[in-house]
Structure 1
Amino acid sequence: STTLTLGAISLLQRASAYPINRRGGSHLNNLVKRDDIEVVDKVYEEVMVSEEVVVFVNQFGTPFSTTTMPNVESTIWSTGPLTTITPSHSTTTPSTTTTTTTATSSSKTDPIVPPPNPPATENLAKTSSTPTPVVNPIPVPPKPEPTTHSTTTSAALPPPSPSSPAPTAPTVPPAPPKSVGYGFSYSPYMANGACKSAQQVSTDFAAIPNIQQYSIVRIYGTDCNQVATVLPAAKAHGLKLMAGIFDLNTLDSEIATIVAAAQGDWSSFDTISVGNEIVNSGTAPASTVVAAVGSARSQLRAAGFMGSVVTVDTLVASRANPSLCDGSDYCAVNCHPFFDGNVEAAGSGDFLTTQMGTLRDALSNKNQRIMITETGWPWQGTANNMAVPSPANQAVALSSIRDAFASNPQDVVLFTSYNDLWKKSSALTFNADQFWGFLGYAPS
């Protein structure tokens, strides 16, 4: 049979001189309400038995790889039109210039096609016996331009689910950790904010194309038992984990959760981050955050972790409060060209490079490592002056970023792997919070 599954592809922070509170700790307000759910009107299925050819396509529907499977019973999917239920309280977005300059890749430019409808989560999961990964390969990097800081989507995480799923053993033997490679961020939540199981996380990781180009996966907290559920999937693909402590008020318990998940083996942990954009959001002053980093480091060292312990904030907040970097084992900052508003997609890489230079000038240790722990470009949303969300611009921006970090890919984390449908759309972040996934919609 022929199985074809088509899928697709943080508060506002302006120019580098004007940090604005971002979503930070407001994750409780970012859960998707029922009136924000996208549903598929119709799903038809037809069972056939024959030789199975699996066709892998990108988020624009263009085939890029095929493989033949033995005779199996499979299901052909056909979905009806996507219906969006718009909440009555939806807010109008700020008026901005929407003139888009679509930069082209040095090799070729994918056609600008609206992303396909997301899969009907429940129906597809129940009927498809062997779901085909939905992937969006990153094009060849064009020459970049500067980029900025982050005000986007990662800082916000949903509250812990009442019943966190128990992790299961990985089905793939652990691969040797890679020393060099790009990083990517991942959030183990379903569209309704529920926790993903270890098997669902494994499915998401298995669908990442060319995963060997990555060496680090970043997560943001310990809710949903996510350290224990993501760790096996990371190990299976030779990835190291950048685990996160999200709330300083629960510092000790979150450390205990991470220690328990490690089970004495820290070989797959690269970094433990303490907080995400806490100073930028106004949640706590830099002195409080630095003290928390010191406390966390002491507890983690006592538990056997000898890796890096840092805090993550926006590049703007860290430049204004260099003690955040002084108190960290390396300087970890989020920086998003999109929120600058004066940077087009093709200038993302150069913008990041320029902003990192201004940050380094403010550091006590001019030789301290700087890592961009979150950067990317949305494929859908409202234009922020010169920054226009679109699938083509996302691809161009990511290519520019990759090009800028080609010699040190371990110093950048791409935001984010899959779309975050559990987040709440907001005009303050250009209605783009849900659509930063460079791999489109998660298969699980």
Structure 2
Amino acid sequence: MRFSLAVGFAAAFTTANAQLRGFNYGSEFSTGAAKQQVDFEYEFNAAKSLPGTSGFTSARLYTMIQGGTTNDPISAIPAAIATGTTLLLGLWASAGAASFNNEVAALNSAISQYGTSFTDLIIGISVGSEDLYRISPTGINNLSGAGAEPSELEAYIGQVRSAIANTGASGKPVGHVDTWTAWVNGSNSAVVNACDFLGMDAYPYYQTTMANSISTSKATFFDAYDATVGAANGKSVWVTETGWPVSGPTKNQAVASVANARTYWSEVACTLLGSVSTFWYTLQDAQPATPNPSFGIKPAGDLMAVSPLYDLSCPAGTNGAAVAAL
């Protein structure tokens, strides 16, 4: 059954953070070198100055740990403080309990080190990213790597709640990010129940078992969104990853191209922005190598100098059109 898009948006409008707009930011370059504070500041400032749009002042992270350290806080935090960027924090949850303990240690260290300058910027804390997808039959077939069981994620969410109690981060929403297919799987209901919000990742480009051309992508995405809202038991649903590649292989009927990425932005991003908390994938793919497929709005090169690969303005009458006028 397809849930009403209007019903899904009505639920999204009830959230306090319904108009957050941002991108996803990895912790490393394609060489494996860790990003430093100056690198994150550069990216956060570039997101704020994108021509054709505005309001991209939030960042989603995947880990709390600075690359090359055991549990030092990621340098994206002082970069966010310096640039006024709000943060959807991420704690990696697919490497076992010892690794997760280091994620929590980094979170606690950041709270102690930066105080309210940091905690005031936290808009949510995601415990894990696509861990349930990776243990699903599809994830296993796609060699997606280690994941985490629902019981593990439920315990990790409780661990984070305990860690932030009586700190400046107390009361911040704690949730989990996963694919829409994981959220609508009833066997994962314990994770839904443990969350304050659900982060949904959905890519029609990769949905190769169904019609997935660019002409069907809007309907396919919002079917996934509505189904996730229907499985959320009234919890807020944030769009934590979506996008269309500018280059790469054809997946069933899905063709990667700049033109199709523009169409997807116009039909999906411009509908979401201003209505649902959205973290687009992505501002720029990891430098210096360009992955295949590539989802970057900006091509490789100077983030401040190179122009977006396609027009980011939104058609009149869409939710995103108001964003561009802010």
TM-score (norm 2): 0.71
Give 1:309 deviation, angstroms. 0.9
Choose the corresponding residue for 1:288, options 152, 177, 183: 152
Give % identity: 24
In the aligned structure 2, how far is the partner of 1:216 from the partner of 1:442?
22
Give yes or no for the alignment of 1:322 onto 2:189. yes
Which amino acid is 2:226 matched to?
G
CA RMSD between the two structures: 2.6
Flag structure 1 segments of 5+ consecutive residues without an equivalent. 1-143, 145-177, 426-430
Choose the corresponding residue for 1:256, options 105, 111, 136: 105
For residues 345-387 of structure 1, the C-alpha deviation after alignment (integer angstroms, 9 at most, x for no partner) is: 3543432221122223334x2x321111111111111001121
Task: Give 2:298's aligned residue.
Answer: 439
Q: Give the 3 Å change call, closer, same or farther, for CA 227–254 of structure 1 in structure 2.
A: same
Give yes or no for the alignment of 1:235 onto 2:65. no
Task: Give 2:59's aligned residue.
Answer: 217
Question: Is this contact kept in 2: 1:183–1:215, CA < 8 A?
Answer: yes
Q: Give the 3 Å change call, closer, same or farther, for CA 347–183 of structure 1 in structure 2.
A: farther
For residues 151-177 of structure 1, the C-alpha deviation after alignment (integer angstroms, 9 at most, x for no partner) is: xxxxxxxxxxxxxxxxxxxxxxxxxxx
Task: Give 1:196's aligned residue.
Answer: 35
In the aligned structure 2, how far is the partner of 1:219 from the partner of 1:230?
8
Choose the corresponding residue for 1:308, options 138, 151, 173: 173
In the aligned structure 2, how far is the partner of 1:269 from the partner of 1:212?
20
Give 1:179 deviation, angstroms. 7.8
Question: Is this contact kept in 1: 2:57–2:86, CA < 8 A?
Answer: yes
In the aligned structure 1, how far is the partner of 2:231 from the partner of 2:24?
27
Equivalences, count: 258
Give 1:284 deviation, angstroms. 2.3
Give 1:423 deviation, angstroms. 8.1
Q: Give the 3 Å change call, closer, same or farther, for CA 198–407 of structure 1 in structure 2.
A: closer
Q: Give the 3 Å change call, closer, same or farther, for CA 191–307 of structure 1 in structure 2.
A: same
Q: Name which structure has the greater RCO, CA cutoff 8 Å, separation 6+.
A: 1
Give 1:335 deviation, angstroms. 1.1
Question: Is this contact kept in 2: 1:255–1:300, CA < 8 A?
Answer: no
Greater helix proportion: 2
Give yes or no for the alignment of 1:383 onto 2:222. no
In the aligned structure 1, how far is the partner of 2:218 from the partner of 2:77?
30
Q: Give the 3 Å change call, closer, same or farther, for CA 179–240 of structure 1 in structure 2.
A: farther
Task: Give 1:416's aligned residue.
Answer: 282
For residues 249-286 of structure 1, the C-alpha deviation after alignment (integer angstroms, 9 at most, x for no partner) is: 22222112122223222101111111111111112221
Q: Give the 3 Å change call, closer, same or farther, for CA 421–215 of structure 1 in structure 2.
A: closer
1:12-411, aligned counterparts within 5 Å?
A: 180-208=19-47, 209-210=49-50, 212-224=54-66, 228-247=74-93, 248-249=96-97, 250-262=99-111, 263-265=114-116, 266-282=119-135, 283-305=147-169, 306-320=171-185, 321-341=188-208, 342-363=211-232, 365=233, 367-410=234-277
Q: Give the 3 Å change call, closer, same or farther, for CA 289–442 of structure 1 in structure 2.
A: farther
Give 1:227 deviation, angstroms. 5.0
Give 1:246 deviation, angstroms. 0.7
For residues 11-58 of structure 1, the C-alpha deviation after alignment (integer angstroms, 9 at most, x for no partner) is: xxxxxxxxxxxxxxxxxxxxxxxxxxxxxxxxxxxxxxxxxxxxxxxx
Which amino acid is 1:416 matched to?
T
In the aligned structure 2, how far is the partner of 1:424 from the partner of 1:206?
21
TM-score (norm 1): 0.53
Question: Is this contact kept in 2: 1:280–1:317, CA < 8 A?
Answer: yes
In the aligned structure 1, how far is the partner of 2:182 from the partner of 2:66?
29
In the aligned structure 1, how far is the partner of 2:174 from the partner of 2:196?
6
User: Secondary structure at 2:19's aligned position in 1?
Assistant: coil
Give 1:228 deviation, angstroms. 4.1
Q: Give the 3 Å change call, closer, same or farther, for CA 383–271 of structure 1 in structure 2.
A: same
In the aligned structure 2, how far is the partner of 1:442 from the partner of 1:260?
34
Larger radius of gyration: 1
In the aligned structure 2, how far is the partner of 1:296 from the partner of 1:336?
29
For residues 281-332 of structure 1, the C-alpha deviation after alignment (integer angstroms, 9 at most, x for no partner) is: 1122212111111111111224331211111111101110233221111112
In the aligned structure 2, how far is the partner of 1:329 from the partner of 1:423?
37
